[in-house]
Amino acid sequence: MVSRVIPVDPFDLVIFGGTGDLARRKILPGLFRRFCAGQMPQEARVIGAARAELGADGYRDMVREAIHEFGGDEGSDDTKLGAFLERLHYVAIDARDEGGWRDLAGLLRHRVIRAFYFSVAPSLFGDLAERLNNHGLTDNDSRIVVEKPFGRDLASARQLNGDLAAFFDESQIYRIDHYLGKETVQNLMAVRFGNMLFEPLWNSQFVDHIQITVAETVGVGGRGDYYDKSGAMRDMVQNHLMQLLCLIAMEPPARFDPDAVRDEKLKVIRALEEVEPHHIVRGQYDADPDDPENLPDYRTAVEDPKSRTESFIAMKTHIANWRWAGTPFYLRTGKRLCARSSEISIMFKDTPHSIFGEEAGRHRNVLSIRLQPNEGIQLGVTIKEPGPGGMRLIDVPLDMTFADALGPSGAENVDAYERLVMDVIRGNQTLFMRGDEVEAAWAWTDPLIEGWTNRGDVPKPYDSHSAGPDAAMQLMRRDGREWREVTP
């Protein structure tokens, strides 16, 4: 199957922080792949901006190296890379200073879409917004893109929203959560709302519980300083896991348009119940016994022997509405776990009565939506084990792994950033978080963090490359349930 590529309208995309890690690893390689796919029109231009005095050639050299390293297979095609680099420009600019803004004004063209990607620390968002406005670089159709973390609590998120709202309308602000750009996440909506099969069963009458796991094998690495101020709750649950939960739990929107979808997500967040303290397990990883020098324990990695920040969190929460009353949602995420895996599992209830008897084996239908690795959707169904010997039941997967179902090009590995940046140019906000959504997510998160801080809770240690602290297993077992195995 050959996927259709529709070129977007001509644009000038300015990447503030265009020399940073995110720009080099994700944004620029993503743009290059869209260029190779034919999605960037002739007139599209990308302008890197940062304080370093690089010049256009110096910038192109830096981007060439970055694309060689992070651009995938296409990154080795020097002809295409040369053509892409010609679209690149650079201005030396300080967000907190007046220098460079006139140069930027001189580069921007009229009658093309202007998008400004704030790939810098959030503390610079307000300065950038103000200077863009003061120098008259934006119009009503200009877009700005901002990255996580969008605040560290409700007050700071409100402040950021206010800083942006002073100069931009909400319809111009694109808050990235790259989980929403994943193919499978959009497929989740297609499966839910494009088929009759699932929707009648998608409620507490038929769903026993839901598990959302985002497991990483890596530790905090060189980001210890940043991570220790944040922790798994702020870094992962408030945004990525919350977004996944919303897509699973939301009501069907009337249309697949940005505000209809985001209105429904917001209702889910507002219906989330506060989590009981004994339904939260936080953990910190121990050193890898085989390589403690390179893979030290969490507190050593963040250089704070008394740190109480969690590198793992598991919790049980409920959504107080008609559809989900009584169905628990179990969320779990952590670092230095046994496999890198992101999966949502819809665990359906057992059949009310087994006509085959208990010894035939009873199985539960599970719809698992796998975000990484091996993106795909699998439905576990029960069938008869083939062969003679009576009625024995086994579980088999009805598999929608994209690579198998659609062939190699159908499963084309479009990185989330590629899709999201193109959505910005198309002016489609469906896969971006709205300001009120982000604030509602913090309003749910804040009291939980405040609760464990005030109680002085200490995270539980867990073995490196395990499935997390034993208490997280107990959280499930107390309810007569088990976590799905974390598999690569």
Q: Which of 7, 10, 20, 427 binds ligand NAP (CB under 6 A)?
A: 20
Query: With contact defined as beta carbons under 8 Å apart, do 376 and 370 qualify?
Result: yes
Neighbours of 267 (CB within 10 A): 16
Contact range with ligand NAP by CB under 6 A, out of 19-27, 102-110, 247-255, 417-425: 19-27
Contact range with ligand NAP by CB under 6 A, out of 32-40, 119-127, 280-288, 309-317: 119-127
Site string for ligand NAP, 81-110 (x = CB under 6 A): ------------xxxx--------------
Between CA 354 and CA 161 the distance in angstroms is: 54
Of 20 and 397, which CB lies nearer to ligand NAP in the complex structure? 20
120 touches ligand NAP (CB under 6 A) = yes
Q: Which of 7, 51, 72, 461 binds ligand NAP (CB under 6 A)?
A: 51
3-state helix vs strand vs coil in the chain, percent to 5? 40, 20, 40
Q: Which amino acid is at 261?
A: V
CA angle 81, 86, 90 (to 5 degrees): 115
Between CA 429 and CA 424 the distance in angstroms is: 7
164 touches ligand NAP (CB under 6 A) = no
Q: What residue is closest to ligand NAP based on CB?
A: 20
Of 174 and 402, which CB lies nearer to ligand NAP in the complex structure? 174
Of 222 and 480, which CB lies nearer to ligand NAP in the complex structure? 222
Which residue is catalytic, options 240, 279, 318, 465? 240
Shortest distance, position 220 Cβ to ligand NAP, whole Å: 13
Between CA 14 and CA 119 the distance in angstroms is: 10
Contact range with ligand NAP by CB under 6 A, out of 120-128, 235-243, 375-383, 446-454: 120-128
22 touches ligand NAP (CB under 6 A) = yes
Contact range with ligand NAP by CB under 6 A, out of 44-52, 151-159, 197-205, 367-375: 44-52
Q: Which of 19, 138, 238, 243 binds ligand NAP (CB under 6 A)?
A: 19
What is the footprint of ligand NAP within residues 335-394 (CB under 6 A)? Answer: none
Shortest distance, position 95 Cβ to ligand NAP, whole Å: 4
# chain residues binding ligand NAP, by CB under 6 A: 23
Of 59 and 324, which CB lies nearer to ligand NAP in the complex structure? 59
Strands 45-50 and 88-92: parallel
Query: With contact defined as beta carbons under 8 Å apart, do 145 and 120 qualify?
Result: no
124 touches ligand NAP (CB under 6 A) = yes
Q: Which of 52, 338, 443, 473 binds ligand NAP (CB under 6 A)?
A: 52
Estimate the crossing angle of helix 258-271 against helix 242-249, to 10 degrees.
Answer: 100
Shortest distance, position 19 Cβ to ligand NAP, whole Å: 4
Q: What phi and psi values does residue 216 have, to the nearest 5 degrees?
A: -120, 150
Of 14 and 272, which CB lies nearer to ligand NAP in the complex structure? 14
SS (H, E, C) 71-104: CCHHHHCHHHHHHHHCCEEEEECCCCCCCCHHHH
Give the distance, in angstroms, between the CA of residue 36 and the centroid of all CA atoms in the same chain: 25
Contact range with ligand NAP by CB under 6 A, out of 45-53, 277-285, 370-378, 477-485: 45-53
Shortest distance, position 70 Cβ to ligand NAP, whole Å: 11
Query: With contact defined as beta carbons under 8 Å apart, do 89 and 56 qualify?
Result: yes
**Which of 101, 470, 439 shows the shortest CA–CA distance to 266?**
439
Shortest distance, position 212 Cβ to ligand NAP, whole Å: 20
Shortest distance, position 190 Cβ to ligand NAP, whole Å: 26
Between CA 206 and CA 202 the distance in angstroms is: 7
Query: With contact defined as beta carbons under 8 Å apart, do 330 and 315 qualify?
Result: yes
Q: Which amino acid is at 207?
A: V
Query: With contact defined as beta carbons under 8 Å apart, do 317 and 328 qualify?
Result: yes
The rounded radius of gyration (Å) of the Cα atoms in the chain is 24
Query: With contact defined as beta carbons under 8 Å apart, do 340 and 373 qualify?
Result: yes
278 is catalytic: no
Of 16 and 483, which CB lies nearer to ligand NAP in the complex structure? 16
Query: With contact defined as beta carbons under 8 Å apart, do 220 and 472 qualify?
Result: no
* Residue matched to tokens 């046994």: 338
Of 182 and 192, which CB lies nearer to ligand NAP in the complex structure? 182
160 touches ligand NAP (CB under 6 A) = no
Shortest distance, position 420 Cβ to ligand NAP, whole Å: 12
17 touches ligand NAP (CB under 6 A) = yes
Q: 263-266 — which CB contacts under 8 Å span 24+ positions?
A: 265/437, 266/434, 266/436, 266/437, 266/440
Site of interaction with ligand NAP (CB under 6 A): 16-23, 50-52, 93-96, 119-122, 124, 147-149
Q: Which residues are catalytic?
A: 240
